[in-house]
Chain A
Amino acid sequence: MSSMEISSLAKENLRKMFSEGKRFDYRGLLDYRDFEVTYDVSNKAEGSARVKLGKTEIVVGIKLTVGAPYPDSKDKGNLMVSGDLLPIASPRYESGPPGFNAIELPRLVDRAIRGSEMIDLKRLVIKEGEKVWTVIIDIYPINDDGNIVDAATIGVIAALKKTFLPTLDSEGNVDYETKTKNKLPLSEETAPLSFSFYKLGDSILLDPTREEEEACDSRITFGISKWEGQYMINSCQKRGEQTLNSEEIAKIMDIIPKKFEELNKKLKKFL
């Protein structure tokens, strides 16, 4: 992927270790690092969360604004996912206009959230065709030690679950200083999670640290949710030049439901 900063020696060592199923931190290839979620990053936001996945740390904030619906979805509120890779979080990040990685992160999260239909956008209409709530999700990594997409999705789910609508006066102005007790209309059944599978040589692993991530040749990210009792893939995107074959895809399909249950169980402790 970006093997610019890792030496070929380190890469070769990691390739060898992965092929023997080993990692520097003694995890199995498909093991996630422990994560924790905390809340109230900013009391000015309608909802916010901080997720720490190993040494990777990401903050997520939710702001709500009132606006016009999109012309092609007049009966729905709007959802916007944005964010930036600020140079505070990693020597890899640079200031300036967003590069590809900064564009890709919110887009991947957006597609996982939207595809899962976790937010009932129809219930965010204030006046049909004229006024709707816009949910704006902003994602900022604070420390990138690998696997920011999966970590960001966890943070976004947590923040959405703790988001309260601000007060709307009779003229339709928003009073951000007084929050209501109304939560966002979210699906009870499911929340999506992201799983990014990384490939180096013939090995496939989950949740790499930054060093492992830099050694890998490609990555494929899936947004998974549950819908009417079934596991559903809502989004998928491969990056990097290395290809995958049908057998590898089938193997990943087998792993996904197990991993979803495992991570979802851990996440529920924090919700």
Chain B
Amino acid sequence: MAFKRSDGRKLTELRPMIAKVGVVPNADGSALFAFGSTVAIAAVYGPRKLHPQHMQNPATGILRCNYDLLSFSVYDRKRPGPSRRSQEISKVTEWALSPALYLESFPSSVVDVQIYILQADAGTRTAGINAASMALAHAGIPMRDLICSVAVGKNDKEVIIDLTKEEEDYKEGEGSTDFAVAKLANSDEFSLLQLDGKIQPEVVSKAISMAKDACIQIYEIQKKALKDCVEGVQNE
């Protein structure tokens, strides 16, 4: 019997995506990105002076990310404040985004990226990275490229894209694998690789190429949202 996904999607089909720029007017740049019912917002503040002073780098500006779930974004209320999980995701998000940025022109300063999840249905870090990448572009930070991020994974033996929470909890056969990936949109350079589950080394390249294809679609949606916001300004 052919493998069927619980929401009827094809193996390579992403959930409907929403991308919007300018969702936090106070910020220097901001964006929203959704994969189905996973919704992330990101805001960028800076480049601005970095405090505490001892963290300043006279050679370059630095990127500082903060990711967290809002307390009501999950069924079991998440206690507010950083957890070990959110601290780890904040750090890998920084590493995922920084290869796209030119911060050398902003010595001793910081670009702060705040990412919050409004509603969680798996893939929150990848949605957050997509939102943050758009927010950085919206803030006018010099960038080599946009960063596109998606979770590819496996249910039993079937490689699938953009897993829902239900798919992440899949238990049959080889169970579920969740493989969060981010890359520079226009080059074969991966800046985030994070995996949990059970996947054969020889299947990884298939997963990677499926993620690459998905990133092409994500890139188009990110670009469109950024262009729309510029056109919106012109029309006013």
A positions within 8 Å CB-CB of B: 100, 103-104, 107, 111, 115, 218, 220, 227, 230-247, 249-250, 253-254, 256-257
Please determine whether B200 and A233 come into contact, CB atoms closer than 8 angstroms: yes
User: Which has the most chain A C-beta neighbours within 10 Å: B92, B204, B209?
Assistant: B204
B231 within 8 A of partner (CB):
no
Residues of chain B with a CB closer than 8 A to A111's CB: 196
Q: A103-B88, A249-B204 are in contact. Are A234 and B188 (CB under 8 A)?
A: no
Q: A231-B201, A249-B205 are in contact. Are A239 and B189 (CB under 8 A)?
A: no
Option from A227, A238, A253 in Cβ contact (under 8 Å) with B204: A253
Please determine whether A241 and B99 come into contact, CB atoms closer than 8 angstroms: yes
B45 within 8 A of partner (CB):
no
Please determine whether A233 and B204 come into contact, CB atoms closer than 8 angstroms: yes
Closest to B199 in A: A233
A64 to B95, CA, bound (A): 36
Please determine whether A244 and B190 come into contact, CB atoms closer than 8 angstroms: yes
Please determine whether B195 and A235 come into contact, CB atoms closer than 8 angstroms: yes
Option from A227, A246, A257 in Cβ contact (under 8 Å) with B201: A257
Given contacts A244-B193, A246-B205, 15 further A-B contacts (CB under 8 A): A100-B87, A100-B91, A103-B84, A115-B196, A115-B197, A233-B204, A238-B192, A242-B99, A243-B190, A243-B191, A246-B212, A247-B188, A249-B190, A253-B205, A256-B201
Closest to B204 in A: A253
Please determine whether A232 and B199 come into contact, CB atoms closer than 8 angstroms: yes
Please determine whether A107 and B84 come into contact, CB atoms closer than 8 angstroms: yes
Size category, B interface: 20 to 34
Please determine whether B190 and A240 come into contact, CB atoms closer than 8 angstroms: no
Residues of chain B with a CB closer than 8 A to A236's CB: 179, 193-195
Q: A243-B190, A245-B188, A249-B193 are in contact. Are A237 and B92 (CB under 8 A)?
A: yes
Option from B194, B198, B202 in Cβ contact (under 8 Å) with A234: B198
Closest to B63 in A: A241
Q: A107-B84, A244-B190 are in contact. Are A227 and B198 (CB under 8 A)?
A: yes
Q: Can you list 13 A-B pairs with a CB-CB distance of less than 8 A?
A: A107-B84, A232-B174, A233-B195, A233-B199, A235-B196, A236-B195, A237-B195, A239-B91, A243-B99, A243-B184, A246-B209, A253-B201, A253-B202
A125 to B184, CA, bound (A): 46
B positions within 8 Å CB-CB of A: 84, 87-88, 91-92, 95, 98-99, 174, 179, 183-184, 188-202, 204-205, 208-209, 212
Please determine whether B197 and A234 come into contact, CB atoms closer than 8 angstroms: yes
Please determine whether B208 and A249 come into contact, CB atoms closer than 8 angstroms: yes
Please determine whether B98 and A241 come into contact, CB atoms closer than 8 angstroms: yes
A100 to B209, CA, bound (A): 31
Residues of chain B with a CB closer than 8 A to A234's CB: 196-198
Please determine whether B84 and A238 come into contact, CB atoms closer than 8 angstroms: no
Closest to A102 in B: B84
CB distance from B196 to the nearest CB of A (A): 6
Residues of chain B with a CB closer than 8 A to A249's CB: 190, 193, 204-205, 208
Option from B95, B189, B198 in Cβ contact (under 8 Å) with A245: B189
Residues of chain A with a CB closer than 8 A to B205's CB: 246, 249-250, 253
A196 to B184, CA, bound (A): 23
Q: A103-B84, A103-B88, A111-B196 are in contact. Are A240 and B201 (CB under 8 A)?
A: no
A234 to B192, CA, bound (A): 16
Closest to B96 in A: A238
Closest to A244 in B: B190
Please determine whether A241 and B196 come into contact, CB atoms closer than 8 angstroms: no
Q: A233-B200, A233-B201 are in contact. Are A243 and B189 (CB under 8 A)?
A: yes
Closest to B173 in A: A228
A227 to B203, CA, bound (A): 15
Please determine whether A245 and B190 come into contact, CB atoms closer than 8 angstroms: yes
Please determine whether A104 and B88 come into contact, CB atoms closer than 8 angstroms: yes
Residues of chain A with a CB closer than 8 A to B199's CB: 232-233
A244 to B96, CA, bound (A): 11
Residues of chain A with a CB closer than 8 A to B192's CB: 238
Closest to B193 in A: A238
Please determine whether B95 and A241 come into contact, CB atoms closer than 8 angstroms: yes
Closest to B94 in A: A241
Q: A103-B84, A104-B88, A253-B205 are in contact. Are A246 and B188 (CB under 8 A)?
A: yes
